[in-house]
Structure 1
Amino acid sequence: MMVKILPQLLICFWITLPFCFAEKTKERSARQRDAEFTDKYQPCMQGVPGVQGRDGNPGINGIPGTPGIPGRDGFKGEKGECVTERFDDPWKPNFKQCAWNSLNYGIDLGKIAECTFTKQRPDSALRVLFSGSLRLKCKTACCQRWYFTFNGAECTGPLPIESIIYLDQGSPELNSTINIHRTSTVEGLCDGIQAGLVDVGIWVGTCADYPRGDASTGWNSVSRVIIEELPK
């Protein structure tokens, strides 16, 4: 009887054995998935932060880079001015004034007044000015001339410094002459005068080709001569 039952048991064993392995495989796969899920999504407790590390040693210089592309030339600049340095002494003002109160000088020919000036440079010019009252009267046409001299000679650089007054005849009907005193000036620049003392004079004389009249200078007013040295 046992002999008959044994083959039946073997058949049953071989039939149920695959199902047993399949169940164990399924069970093992489920446990593996649960473990992976737990490792992936279940948070762990954070540990104590470690000690901060030290800074590393400075690195060595890198390899030099290649030269850059040369730049373009800039725009051409404007032409500069040529400046010549001068080492001459700085110019110092040099001037003088001589003044007279009521000269009342009635001469028709000769020197009226003089003012002495010290000229400092040989290559400078002198500016001269006379300001005062001038008058000329006559019964017929006449002309008088007021002019400057330098050490007794008139200016030649470039021309004399002068002023004139011309008067036509008076009024025969009234048997009188015109007698007007007006403040006038004689002014100009003179070159070519040497350095040192210069006697600057104001004179009165006649005009060419005209008769002399009755001249008056500095009547009832202040007259003055101003002299100034100027650079050329």
Structure 2
Amino acid sequence: LACRRTFIFLPKCLLAMCPYNCFTGPAGTPGREGNPGTNGIPGTPGIPGRDGLKGEKGECINEIFEEPWRPNYKQCAWNSLNYGIDLGKVADCTFTKLRSDSALRVLFSGSLRLKCKNACCQRWYFTFNGAECTGPLPIESIIYLDQGSPELNSTINIHRTSSVEGLCEGVKAGLVDVAVWVGTCADYPRGDASTGWNSVSRIIIEELPK
């Protein structure tokens, strides 16, 4: 009798399950990356954090911005006043004061003369709106004459350029009438006064910061 062989071809998947004659094939080509996925569902809000520690108290700084100081001055001048009064106003000069917290520096420069037969004294002084300075004291200059001889006193007639100068505080802002007056000294008789003879006289006013 002839012997017949029968061959049965099975799929690879069945061959892999076969306990006999199992073979591993070569690795396949790597696949391409897939498309990006869609966004996920938003998460729920977290729990609110606790308040932080209280900070230290800050410093309070007040900034004061002041306008820069501007020079403010004026001069009034006269040629040969030749004012021979013994009591009264000699000359005046109107000034515009910009601030109430400033001081006024005033100067009178001119020829002064005093003569008399007996002891005498005359006083030249400033006023501000008709009143003498009180911050801190009046601004004045005096001439006292006493030669001890009536005969000699009657011939003395010396004119000298002199000045009356000072600072006055407490004058309010606005128009200020600054004037120079001549008067008597306390407890002394007046003499024959003369102001501004044969020369230039001037009043200079300047506003200064305190």
TM-score computed with the length of structure 1 as normaliser = 0.62
Aligned equivalent of 1:104: 82
Runs of 4+ off more than 4 Å: 172-175
Report percent identity of matched pairs: 88
Deviation at residue 169 of structure 1 after TM alignment:
3.7
Partners of 2:115 and 2:154 within 8 A in 1: no
Partners of 2:115 and 2:153 within 8 A in 1: no
Deviation at residue 176 of structure 1 after TM alignment:
3.5
Aligned equivalent of 1:202: 180
Query: Compared with structure 1, are the counterparts of its residues 192 and 224 closer, same or farther at alpha carbon in structure 2 (3 Å cutoff)?
Result: same
Partners of 1:129 and 1:227 within 8 A in 2: yes
Q: Please, which runs of 5 or more residues in structure 2 have no aligned partner? A: 1-61
Distance in 1 (CA, whole Å) between partners of 2:64 and 2:130 is 36
Partners of 2:118 and 2:149 within 8 A in 1: no
Which of 114, 119, 126 matches 1:136?
114
Higher share in helix: 1
Which of 137, 155, 159 matches 2:133?
155
Residues 128-148 of structure 1: CA distance to partner in whole angstroms, max 9, x if unpaired? 000000000000000000000
The one-letter amino acid of 1:132's match is: G
Distance in 2 (CA, whole Å) between partners of 1:150 and 1:175 is 35
Higher share in strand: 2
Residues 174-210 of structure 1: CA distance to partner in whole angstroms, max 9, x if unpaired? 5733110000000000000000000000000000000
Aligned equivalent of 2:204: 226
Aligned equivalent of 2:52: none
1:95 partnered with 2:84: no
Residues 5-50 of structure 1: CA distance to partner in whole angstroms, max 9, x if unpaired? xxxxxxxxxxxxxxxxxxxxxxxxxxxxxxxxxxxxxxxxxxxxxx
Distance in 2 (CA, whole Å) between partners of 1:154 and 1:194 is 14
RMSD, matched Cα: 1.6
Query: Compared with structure 1, are the counterparts of its residues 179 and 151 closer, same or farther at alpha carbon in structure 2 (3 Å cutoff)?
Result: same
Q: Please, which runs of 5 or more residues in structure 1 have no aligned partner? A: 1-83
Pairing of 1:164-183 with structure 2 (within 5 A): 164-169=142-147, 171-172=149-150, 176-183=154-161
Corresponding pairs, count: 149
Partners of 2:116 and 2:153 within 8 A in 1: no
Residues 98-140 of structure 1: CA distance to partner in whole angstroms, max 9, x if unpaired? 0000000000000000100000001000000000000000000
* Paired residue secondary structure (2:124): strand
Distance in 1 (CA, whole Å) between partners of 2:191 and 2:116 is 5
Deviation at residue 170 of structure 1 after TM alignment:
6.0
Partners of 2:118 and 2:150 within 8 A in 1: no
The one-letter amino acid of 1:189's match is: L
Deviation at residue 87 of structure 1 after TM alignment:
1.5
Q: Which is greater in Rg?
A: 1
Deviation at residue 171 of structure 1 after TM alignment:
3.9
The one-letter amino acid of 1:95's match is: Y
Distance in 2 (CA, whole Å) between partners of 1:222 and 1:109 is 21
TM-score computed with the length of structure 2 as normaliser = 0.68
Partners of 1:128 and 1:227 within 8 A in 2: yes
Aligned equivalent of 1:212: 190
Query: Compared with structure 1, are the counterparts of its residues 143 and 227 closer, same or farther at alpha carbon in structure 2 (3 Å cutoff)?
Result: same
